[in-house]
Structure 1
Amino acid sequence: MNVLFLTMARIGSLDDRGVYTDLLRKFFEEGHNVYVVTPMERRENKKTNIIKEKGGVILNIQTLNIQKTNIIEKGIGTLAIEYQFLRGIKKYLSDVEFDLITYSTPPITFSKVISYIKNRDNAYSYLMLKDIFPQNAIDMKMLKEGSLLHKFFLKKERKLYEVSDAIGCMSEANKIFLLTHNPNIALKKVEVNPNSISPLELFQAKEENNIIKKKYGLPLNKKIFVYGGNLGKPQGVDFLLETITATKRKDVFFLVIGSGTEYNRIKKWFETQQPKNAMMMKGLPKDDYEFLLRACDVGMLFLHRDFTIPNFPSRLLSYLEIKLPVLAATDPNTDVGSVIEKAKCGYWILSGDQKEMQNAINKFCDDEENYLQMKENAWKLLVTEFHVDRSYQLIKKRLENV
């Protein structure tokens, strides 16, 4: 079977680890031919090219800058990418007949590419719904509800759902939200197909952890609560800063690692406030980041309290894989907190509730036996609910039933 994957994410190699590459490797391991179309932003100064690897073929499409750039270039780039992908596929993959075309959101602007492949090859189309746009932009007040731009994107969103033979949602709350707000979508074409990876259990001795802590200037005798990932408006980072200020325990230390639109503002806050119980670091190379993460004690998730859409951060899987208990501070609509608490591998609180945040921090620190059990529960949750085999089997079953 020939599998085509369209993504806005930059995929440099199919050997990389992640929710998309792990799934694509699973397809390859099961005997399928894998083709990936991924953007190569103009800042890389490279032209459209095709790379053949052991695990498949990567078509790098030259695009405008669509990540970490000004809103005008990002907007134009996002609208143009559909035509750039279509042109690249016609030029470089014209001799390949695809059986399956799968893709993720963002963006919602791939419907013409999907329709072309479906009509040309009679391919089956599977949407992995990772983001519900444009509602997320409305929630964050990045888009005015009812505006011409909002209506334009709504039309694009509906077209994407229409052209998809199946839609895999990240969680049950995602599925309910999608069907509630899009009653025209047939129930039978929607399922829960969560973020998933190929888990790799790694052990890092206490001595190694201490070496890493010394390298980065972290305390050796405190419980380190780490937030790693995007630092943007959707994360509601103000509550993270409020938590640092409000936490008076001497045995707790916060580590903030990442980049994003709010990075400079947070960095300025650290420079001004100079908190004694926290440190901020710029995003690290992947290997260095993972070693540092394994030296920490609790992983933190933050989502803005104004979200009406049920986000489900893939960052959760990074924490679970290294057996980090999780503290999630989110809006009331996502079910990531209930998943964590049901699995007994962490605690959930409503973003903005500082009293409950402090209660949760105390629980992590005051009951070591429970904390150690949460570490084991974190791994158990990952391998039972978020293993790549599950995602692969769900897609495979859809194809078998066509």
Structure 2
Amino acid sequence: MNVLFLTLSSMESVSERGIYTDLVRELAYRGVHMYVVTPREKRKNLPTELVREDYIYLLKVKTGNITKTNLIEKGLSTLSIERQYLQAIQEHFGNIEFDLVMYSTPPITFEKVVRYFKGHHQSKTYLLLKDIFPQNAVDIELMQKGGLMWRYFRNKEKKLYELSDHIGCMSPANVDYIARYNNIDKKKLEIFPNCIDPINRIVRKTKHSHLLEKYQIPQHSTLFIYGGNLGKPQGINFLLEVAAHFDAGHLIIVGSGTEYEKVRAALKVLNNPNVTLLPYLPKEEYDQLLQITDVGLIFLDNRFTIPNFPSRVLSYMEYSLPILAATDRQTDLKDVLIESNSGFWCESGDLESFMMYAARLAMNKRLREEMGGNGRLYLEQHYDVRKAADILLKHLLAGVR
């Protein structure tokens, strides 16, 4: 069986850990020939390259810059990707018949590539729906509903849904949203959660770490960590409000994104000694940091009307960290935290509730350990990559009917 996987997630090696690389390796382990197409951004100054690792063929396509850049360059680069991907696939995989074409959002602009293989190869198609665009851009006022740009991307979105034989949604709320606002056969929709290949359970290390010394983080505080994108979807203004008042322990913010400089400049003015900002870290070092922190944080803008489900949750659960999430009301992440008893939720903007929960977690080590353990168990039961592979193989073996 041959599967083509299109993604905007950058992969230099399939041995990296993540929701897509873990899935690719698991499918390859089960005998599926995986052909992965991933961007290699212009800033790397490297050519398009094909690498083979056992059953996995990794095609790194030279593209424009789509991350860590301004919105105009990101938009133009994203619009060019369809043509760049299709040309590279035809050149390097031109003699391959694909049983399944699998693709993730963002972006929604793979429509022409998907249509090509559906028409010429009769390939079955599976969409991994990781965000709902352009509505998410409308929610945080990056795009005007009804405008020219909105109409273009909304048309692309509808075509992609129409072309997809199956649409895997991250959560029940995502399934409900897509069914409610799109004319889609509900039989297409199913829950396909973010999944990883969990590392073995670890014994929590002591705080005496070279990382704490390296970044001048106090060893004897309760350590709260936010790791991930620092962009408009995260509701940066509330994150900064939290940073201004944070005194429950020590807050570590790790990441990059369009709002990083805004965060850096604001924290310099606030000068709160209980907050440390770190730029993007290599995953190995970031994982080492997760081993010695105490609480994982999630931030999302409260204006969202779409039910986001941040993949960052999985990292926290993997390292048995309790979670404190401040998000919009639409996400069913809050339901997962309640069901699993793995953390607390409040609406983004509710500073009083956030600080109350932070204080509870800071003062009660037993509560942190209990919630962290519950989260790890929930991860193993619901978000193990083997479950995701089972879903795809079921469709592959059934001809994706």
TM-score if structure 1 supplies the norm length?
0.96
Superposed displacement of residue 91, structure 1: 1.2
Q: Measure the CA separation in 1 of the matches of 2:310 and 2:319.
A: 16
Q: Measure the CA separation in 1 of the matches of 2:357 and 2:332.
A: 18
Q: Quote the residue 1:379 is aligned against.
A: 376
Given that residues 213 and 295 in structure 1 are in contact (C-alpha distance below 8 angstroms), is that contact kept between their aligned partners in structure 2? no
Q: Measure the CA separation in 1 of the matches of 2:75 and 2:373.
A: 44
Q: Quote the residue 2:217 is aligned against.
A: 218
Letter of the aligned partner of 1:268 in structure 2? A
Superposed displacement of residue 223, structure 1: 0.6
Q: Quote the residue 1:195 is aligned against.
A: 194
**Equivalent position SS for 1:206:** coil
Superposed displacement of residue 210, structure 1: 3.6
Paired positions, count? 399
Matches within 5 A, 1:79-94: 79-94=79-94
Superposed displacement of residue 132, structure 1: 0.4
Q: Measure the CA separation in 2 of the matches of 1:99 and 1:137.
A: 33
Superposed displacement of residue 367, structure 1: 3.1
Matches within 5 A, 1:3-402: 3-182=3-182, 184-207=183-206, 209-249=208-248, 252-401=249-398, 402=401
Aligned residues: percent identity? 43
Q: Measure the CA separation in 2 of the matches of 1:209 and 1:121.
A: 57
Q: Measure the CA separation in 2 of the matches of 1:235 and 1:242.
A: 13
1:114-160 deviation per Cα after TM superposition (whole angstroms, max 9, x unaligned): 11112222211100000100001111111111111110111000000
User: Greater shift after overlay, 22-31 or 285-294?
Assistant: 285-294
Q: Measure the CA separation in 2 of the matches of 1:379 and 1:398.
A: 29
Superposed displacement of residue 312, structure 1: 0.5
Given that residues 206 and 292 in structure 2 are in contact (C-alpha distance below 8 angstroms), is that contact kept between their aligned partners in structure 1? no
Q: Measure the CA separation in 1 of the matches of 2:338 and 2:362.
A: 17
Superposed displacement of residue 310, structure 1: 0.6
User: Greater shift after overlay, 330-339 or 43-52?
Assistant: 43-52
Superposed displacement of residue 218, structure 1: 1.3
RMSD of aligned alpha carbons: 1.4
Given that residues 40 and 46 in structure 2 are in contact (C-alpha distance below 8 angstroms), is that contact kept between their aligned partners in structure 1? yes
Letter of the aligned partner of 2:35 in structure 1? Y
Residues 265 and 253 of structure 1, relative CA distance in 2, 3 Å threshold: same
**Equivalent position SS for 1:90:** helix
1:250-303 deviation per Cα after TM superposition (whole angstroms, max 9, x unaligned): xx1111111111111111112111102111111111111110121100000000
Q: Measure the CA separation in 2 of the matches of 1:381 and 1:139.
A: 31
Given that residues 14 and 55 in structure 1 are in contact (C-alpha distance below 8 angstroms), is that contact kept between their aligned partners in structure 2? no
Superposed displacement of residue 111, structure 1: 1.2
Superposed displacement of residue 396, structure 1: 1.6
1:278-336 deviation per Cα after TM superposition (whole angstroms, max 9, x unaligned): 11111111111110121100000000011111110001111111001000000000111
Given that residues 212 and 295 in structure 1 are in contact (C-alpha distance below 8 angstroms), is that contact kept between their aligned partners in structure 2? no
Q: Measure the CA separation in 1 of the matches of 2:188 and 2:266.
A: 47
Given that residues 69 and 258 in structure 2 are in contact (C-alpha distance below 8 angstroms), is that contact kept between their aligned partners in structure 1? no
